[in-house]
């Protein structure tokens, strides 16, 4: 029969081995910010914004539902979101409709996009019918018809296939 003293030593040894395993494995884990999940990448894009007022604006509007013609927290459409963001963050006045907004930009390629640039899409196939605001690392914010105001990955095939124009507001 083992003494309490022997059991105590085995227990202490077991605890020490577990602690060593735990400590050594922690060093090999990838930090959370390098996660490959869509949400983690979107959060990283937000964290990397240069303009903190832009960060606050997007955070404040995230999740607001889509409403055609909407311009407030009860619901907003894509062009209304781009209009309010540009007015509040950059002091720029944009036309109300996305097709008109596309007419007041200096075009640039996707590779040249900078924080605050506009990206335009043609989901209906008949010219510009959607707009978003570029953030960084291939992410943009927009008012999605199904998900409301959200940060999304511009490199997704669903967006790449319908991206028709991008650039800086003149």
8 is catalytic: no
Among residues 8, 9, 26, 130, the one annotated as catalytic is 130
Among residues 26, 78, 126, 137, the one annotated as catalytic is 78
130 is catalytic: yes
Among residues 8, 18, 26, 142, the one annotated as catalytic is 142
142 is catalytic: yes
Three-state SS sequence of the chain: CCCHHHHHHHHHHHHHHHHHHHHHHHCCCCCHHHCCCHHHHHHHHHHCCCCHHHHHHHHHHCCCCECCCCEECCEECHHHHHHHHHHHHHCCCCCCCHHHHHHHEEECCHHHCCCCCEEEECCCCCCCCEEEEEEECCEEEEEECCCEEEEEECCCHHHHCCEEEEEEEC
Please give the positions annotated as active site: 78, 130, 142
């Amino acid at each position: 029969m083992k003494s309490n003293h022997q059991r105590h030593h085995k227990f202490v040894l077991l605890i020490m081995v577990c602690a060593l395993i735990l400590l050594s494995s922690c060093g090999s884990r990838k930090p959370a910010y390098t996660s490959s999940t869509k949400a983690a990448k979107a959060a990283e894009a937000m964290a990397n914004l240069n303009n903190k007022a832009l960060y606050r604006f997007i955070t404040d509007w995230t999740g607001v539902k889509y409403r055609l013609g909407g311009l407030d927290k009860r619901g907003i459409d894509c062009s209304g979101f781009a209009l309010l963001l540009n007015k509040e963050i950059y002091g720029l006045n944009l036309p109300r409709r996305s097709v008109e907004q596309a007419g007041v930009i200096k075009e640039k390629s996707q590779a040249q996009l900078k924080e605050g640039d506009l990206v335009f899409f043609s989901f209906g196939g008949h010219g510009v019918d959607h707009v978003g605001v570029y953030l960084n690392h291939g992410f943009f914010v927009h008012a999605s018809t199904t998900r409301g105001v959200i940060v999304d990955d511009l490199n997704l095939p669903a967006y790449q296939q319908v991206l028709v124009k991008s650039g800086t507001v003149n």
